Homo-oligomer: A and B are copies of this chain.
Amino acid sequence: MFSLAEENYLKAIFHLQQESKGGVSTNAIAEKMSTKPSSVTDMVQKLAEKKLLSYQKYKGTSLTSKGSKIAAGVIRKHRLWEVFLVDKLKFHWDEVHEIAEQLEHIQSDELVARLDRFLGEPDFDPHGDPIPDKNGNIKTTEKKLLSELDKKQRGVCVGVKETKSEFLQYLDKRNITIGTKIRVLGKEFFDGSMIIQVGRDQFFISKKIADNLYIQTS
């Protein structure tokens, strides 16, 4: 129905829309897609003609509900495949993203439905991100960044913002994964660094780490 390029644009715009409420700028899209702003303008005009997003010259774009639905469908596939790769094929959670980038474009509603059932209709992917349902609705859970917690607060790790291998491997070394309980023992206000407790271990983390861990506080 839609080309690989079109799906990738819709997905990128969808994600950018979540982060910063309001219209998405041409440059932001170009940045996210590692492409040039001029290429973005071309594609955005094409997608606007197809009513997948609304666009006004120089004003940025935002997805129509039709565009959002398609984007959510691609994200649904991406995350379901990631679950498959980790749960069934025993990939490590830092190895699956690139493969899912390819698998998310496989076109077959029946396949998605059966995959979902095969995996036990999971709600979250291996990185803690919610899996949109077949209608494109995403369950948003109240979660905050670890860096927003104060001294003595505690919570459960429910997701990662960054999914680069180096970060995920760091978390493994520290025995932090989805579901891990974390308590803030100390917080330095000058640089935002923290001392946290994970299981029996206590250690120092930088603000950059704390900025990339999602926590649910009871």
Which of chain A's residues 89-147 have a Cβ closer than 8 Å to chain B?
89-91, 95, 98-99, 102-103, 106-108, 110-111, 114-115, 118
CA distance A106 to B115 in the complex (A): 17
The quantity of this chain's copies bound in the complex is: 2
Q: Which residues of B are found within 8 Å of A111, using beta-carbon distances?
A: 85, 89, 99
- State which size class the interface on A falls in: 10 to 19
Please tell me if A88 contacts chain B, counting CB pairs below 8 Å: yes
Q: Which residues of B are found within 8 Å of A106, using beta-carbon distances?
A: 99, 102-103
CA distance A7 to B103 in the complex (A): 17
CA distance A85 to B113 in the complex (A): 12
Question: Which residue of chain B is the closest to A98 with respect to CB atoms?
Answer: B108
Question: Do B99 and A114 touch across chains, with their CB atoms under 8 A apart?
Answer: no
Q: Which residues of B are found within 8 Å of A89, using beta-carbon distances?
A: 111, 114-115, 118
Q: Which residues of B are found within 8 Å of A95, using beta-carbon distances?
A: 110
Digitize A46-64: 1 where CB-to-B-CB distance is under 8 Å, 0 elsewhere: 0000000000000000000
Q: Which residues of B are found within 8 Å of A107, using beta-carbon distances?
A: 102
Q: Which residues of B are found within 8 Å of A118, using beta-carbon distances?
A: 88-89
The smallest C-beta distance from A96 to any residue of chain B, in angstroms, reads: 9
The smallest C-beta distance from A180 to any residue of chain B, in angstroms, reads: 26
The smallest C-beta distance from A147 to any residue of chain B, in angstroms, reads: 34
- Chain A interface (Cβ within 8 Å of chain B)? 85, 88-91, 95, 98-99, 102-103, 106-108, 110-111, 114-115, 118
Given contacts A90-B114, A103-B103, A103-B106, 12 further A-B contacts (CB under 8 A): A85-B111, A88-B118, A89-B114, A89-B115, A91-B110, A95-B110, A98-B108, A99-B106, A99-B108, A99-B111, A102-B106, A102-B108
